[in-house]
């Protein structure tokens, strides 16, 4: 069965610093992979998705993620953090007709 | 284009009661999925509805049930509420592409249920 592991339940960065949120997946078949963001008291918003095209995927708000099959990873990055990036981020893998989510990483941005 | 809307946004129930949550899918989307997000956890798949029939179910007991209507809107019903049912319930819609793999899901803002 497909599964997702997000390393680090909390990540803290300074404004302007690199953001790196880690995600490793377990899948028996080539997966579709997603990153979603959740702001307080809101639903999930799609940041980006990998669907077996280019391995480097660019998303909204300056985020990107690289699919590395050899490492079974799909880490999310942003070159320069902004205060508005503070939120919870979820990595997810497709599994048939559903998504399997990781436990989430809360990103804190310090001024 | 109208997004996914859910109601109510917040509600409080007591143990043993029943609750109905409602979801209107995004325009043009015929598939609705429900997820439970407990505090501090990622969303967990409850079930999916397509063409008014259940099309896959996660590891949830039968007291979690649902409906989909001809206009593709959906309801989630939970009977005999337990304290552990306290969570954010998320509805997501998607256009059915005819493939077995889920594509992008479009989420509503959720219904936060508190069971006392």
pLDDT digits (tens, 9 = 90+) for A76-107: 999 999 999 999 999 999 888 889 999 999 99
Burial class (CB in 10 A: 0-12, 13-18, 19+), B94: buried
Cβ count within 10 A of residue A3: 13
Average pLDDT over residues B6-10: 96
- Gap from A81 CA to chain B (nearest CA, Å): 23
What per-residue confidence (pLDDT) applies to B99? 54
Confidence band of B25 (pLDDT split at 50, 70, 90): very high
- Choice among A13-22, A48-57, B38-47, B53-62 with the minimum mean pLDDT: A48-57
* Statement: residue B100 has pLDDT above 70: no
Model confidence at B45, in pLDDT bands (50, 70, 90)?
Answer: very high
pLDDT digits 0-9 by tens, A15-68: 999 999 999 999 777 788 999 999 988 889 999 999 877 889 999 999 999 999
Encode B23-49: b = buried (16+ Cβ within 10 Å), e = exposed.
bbbbeebbbbbbbbbeeeebbbbbbbb
For residue B106, which residues of chain A lie inside 8 Å, CB to CB? 46
Q: Which of A97, A100, A105 to mutate to test the interface with B (most CBs of B within 10 A)?
A: A97
Contacts of A43 in chain B (CB under 8 A): 4, 90, 107-110
């Amino acid at each position: 069965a497909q599964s997702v592991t997000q390393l680090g339940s909390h990540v803290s960065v300074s404004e302007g610093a690199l953001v790196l949120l880690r995600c490793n997946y377990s899948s028996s078949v080539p997966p579709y992979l997603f990153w979603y963001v959740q702001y307080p008291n809101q639903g999930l918003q799609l940041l980006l998705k990998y669907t077996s095209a280019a391995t480097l995927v660019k998303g909204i708000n300056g985020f990107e993620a690289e699919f590395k099959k050899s490492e079974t990873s799909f880490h999310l990055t942003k070159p320069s953090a902004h205060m508005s990036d503070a939120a919870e981020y979820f990595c997810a893998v497709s599994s048939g007709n559903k998504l399997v989510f990781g436990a989430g990483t809360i990103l804190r941005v310090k001024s | 284009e109208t997004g996914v809307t859910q109601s109510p946004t917040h509600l409080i129930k007591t143990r043993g009661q029943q609750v109905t949550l409602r979801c209107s899918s995004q325009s043009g989307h015929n598939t609705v999925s429900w997820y439970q997000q407990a505090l501090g956890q990622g969303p967990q798949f409850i079930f999916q509805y397509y063409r008014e029939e259940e099309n896959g179910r996660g590891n949830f007991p039968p007291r979690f049930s649902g409906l989909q209507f001809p206009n593709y809107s959906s309801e989630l019903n939970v009977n005999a509420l337990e304290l552990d049912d306290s969570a954010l319930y998320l509805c997501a819609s998607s256009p059915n592409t005819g493939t077995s793999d889920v594509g992008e899901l479009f989420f509503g803002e959720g219904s936060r249920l508190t069971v006392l």
